Amino acid sequence: MNLGMPNLWMFFIFMPLLGMCVGSFINVVIWRLPFSGQKVSYRGKTGRLSLSWPPSHCPHCNKTVRWHENIPVISWLILRGRCSGCNQRISLRYPLVELGTGIIFLALFIAYYLTGWYGNQFRNMAHGGPTLVLDLVYVSVLLAASGIDADWFIIPLRLPWLVIMAAVVSCAAGVQPMLPSLPAHSAFARAALGGTAGLIAAVIFLRLRLIPRSFSAPPDGKLAENPPPAESLSAPQSADQFVAPPQLRRRPIVPAVIIILAAQAPLWLFASHKIAVLLLLVSGILCFLLGVLPRPADTAESNDLAEEILDESAAPNARHEIFKELLFVLPILILGATAVFIPFPLPASPVFCRLYGTLLGLLAGGGIVWIFRIGGTLVLGRVAMGLGDVHLMAAVGAVLGAPLAIIAFFIAPFAALIWVIILKIMHRPNVLPFGPWLSVAGILALLIGPPVQGWYANQLFPPVHQRPIKTGRVMWPGDNPAADRPHKSP
């Protein structure tokens, strides 16, 4: 690792600051993106709601938030969580989302560059930099998507597609440590291209209406780009409702966050640094979730939304509708499978190898959710998972690659289970959206995915030839010998 000491300390300060500023923006995205484009009135003006208009202001007294009141976390602490104009409380969500994002950014930087989590794969900024940048974009979008899903049970599809675009663009950086890549001669690379061709064909068929749209009067809120039309949303809006996330009860949350933060110091002293950095990442995720997931138990509105979601997923024609999605998946399967058995030469430059890995991850991540969505709906007779979840996992796969996306998919229910237990203890009835858990699993998989994959691969393919199966996003058994240089475990 070639980071000199001054650089190192700069990054120690820079990463959490960057994370907190991004978290501040995530707050805006969570609260405004689902409604962007709606007509709102603010101080007598009528305009369309966007991420930048109207400016941040207090929903109670209309006071505009000045720049020095908008410094992540710190301003909230200095103002003691109250508006400087009218002394009304500012939601605890703001500092928690900012703090959580800051901790997650710091944890990933430490894990990649300082603890040797990936051996010597991250030697210097030039070497691992593009990987880190893509991962930070990925994490930020997953956090925003899970916040919106927690509030409205939808995932705006432009969020996962932003990640997919970023992943495809990052292919230009060639083979990067830990980013998916496939050798041009492998059947997987051909499957990725064939499947992608099938996907493009299916989308064209859908646009030409050769394939029917499922749930065309969307019973499933996630199908629509815009949120379910709650009655209150159809009337002309005051801008105020878009600037005030729900108030959270401070008593259980603030002590919990303090305990989580205080527990970090002994970990770094007494546990191994790898365990400590993993738990740092977990603590950042927890801070974020504490800001985003709790909803006031007594608001009729959130209960109505939850019931609405349950009603919708129990659509009587769910089985019939889901068959239409099988028609969409069919060209992907046919072309993907055909390409496996017909060897054709592919460009073998690093840029293309990355592209194959990204495309296969996209298909595998989206595909595994879709399999469970179609299978679950056919068996249960009710919609099992949203199409938003399909897109979200496609984005996870595009960044992590196929093996880790599948691992992340199976981590998600365990993460959700923990939250269900907490809700049971707190006697809070709740309906869980699945998006946040896919996101949490997608973030955790950045660190725990490769070891799990390595362990699993070693079970399947015991290293008889003394050729260890590397634990990386890149690796398939026997692939990519260039990256197979031995490295010292710290």
Distance CA 73, CA 90 (A): 12
Nearer to Zn ion, 58 or 99 (CB): 58
Binding part of the chain for Zn ion, among 82-90, 113-121, 154-162, 330-338 by CB under 5 A, reads 82-90
Nearer to Zn ion, 60 or 273 (CB): 60
Whether 319 and 377 have beta carbons less than 8 Å apart is answered as yes
> What's the min distance (Å) between Cβ of 84 and Zn ion?
7
Nearer to Zn ion, 36 or 84 (CB): 84
Map residues 49-78 to x or -, x wherever contact with Zn ion holds by CB under 5 A.
---------x-xx-x---------------
Token pair for 376: 């679950």
Residue nearest to Zn ion (CB): 58
Peptide bond into 54 cis (omega under 30): yes
> What's the min distance (Å) between Cβ of 49 and Zn ion?
20
Fill in the amino acid letter for 440: V
Q: What is the CA radius of gyration of the chain?
A: 23
Binding part of the chain for Zn ion, among 13-21, 80-88, 300-308, 317-325 by CB under 5 A, reads 80-88
Nearest-5° angle of CA 186, CA 192, CA 197? 135
Nearer to Zn ion, 83 or 346 (CB): 83
Map residues 135-164 to x or -, x wherever contact with Zn ion holds by CB under 5 A.
------------------------------
Q: At what angle are helices 93-113 and 125-152 packed, to 10 degrees?
A: 150
Chain position carrying tokens 């769910």:
318
Nearer to Zn ion, 83 or 154 (CB): 83
Distance CA 464, CA 356 (A): 28
CA dihedral 13, 16, 20, 25 (to 10 degrees): 100
Instruction: Tell me the three state secondary structure of residue 188.
Output: helix
Q: How many residues make contact with Zn ion (CB under 5 A)?
A: 7
Nearer to Zn ion, 133 or 244 (CB): 244
Nearer to Zn ion, 41 or 303 (CB): 41
Whether 86 and 60 have beta carbons less than 8 Å apart is answered as yes
Nearer to Zn ion, 56 or 303 (CB): 56
Nearer to Zn ion, 85 or 212 (CB): 85
107 binds Zn ion (CB under 5 A): no
Map residues 370-389 to x or -, x wherever contact with Zn ion holds by CB under 5 A.
--------------------
- Interface pick for Zn ion out of 10, 51, 86, 421 (rule CB under 5 A): 86
Nearest-5° angle of CA 39, CA 44, CA 45? 45
Binding part of the chain for Zn ion, among 12-20, 83-91, 257-265, 285-293 by CB under 5 A, reads 83-91
DSSP state of 227: -
Whether 388 and 421 have beta carbons less than 8 Å apart is answered as no
Token pair for 474: 């890149």
Whether 389 and 427 have beta carbons less than 8 Å apart is answered as no
Nearer to Zn ion, 85 or 218 (CB): 85
275-287 residues labelled b (16+ CB within 10 A) or e (exposed):
ebbbbbbbbbbbb
174 binds Zn ion (CB under 5 A): no
> What's the min distance (Å) between Cβ of 411 and Zn ion?
41
90 binds Zn ion (CB under 5 A): no
Nearer to Zn ion, 243 or 383 (CB): 243
> What's the min distance (Å) between Cβ of 240 and Zn ion?
11
Of 206, 475, 199, 478, which is closest to residue 362 (Cα–Cα)? 199
| Burial (CB count within 10 angstroms: exposed 0-12, middle 13-18, buried 19+), residue 168 | middle
> What's the min distance (Å) between Cβ of 63 and Zn ion?
5
83 binds Zn ion (CB under 5 A): yes
Whether 335 and 342 have beta carbons less than 8 Å apart is answered as no
> What's the min distance (Å) between Cβ of 88 and Zn ion?
5
Distance CA 390, CA 100 (A): 25
> What's the min distance (Å) between Cβ of 58 and Zn ion?
3
Strands 45-48, 39-42: pairing kind: antiparallel
> What's the min distance (Å) between Cβ of 62 and Zn ion?
7
CA 196 to chain centre: 22
Of 44, 70, 47, which is closest to residue 57 (Cα–Cα)? 70
> What's the min distance (Å) between Cβ of 85 and Zn ion?
4
> What's the min distance (Å) between Cβ of 43 and Zn ion?
14
> What's the min distance (Å) between Cβ of 61 and Zn ion?
3
85 binds Zn ion (CB under 5 A): yes
> What's the min distance (Å) between Cβ of 69 and Zn ion?
11
Chain position carrying tokens 């209960």:
303
Nearer to Zn ion, 61 or 256 (CB): 61
Q: Kind and range of the H or E element at 39? A: strand 39-42
Interface residues with Zn ion (CB under 5 A) are 58, 60-61, 63, 83, 85-86
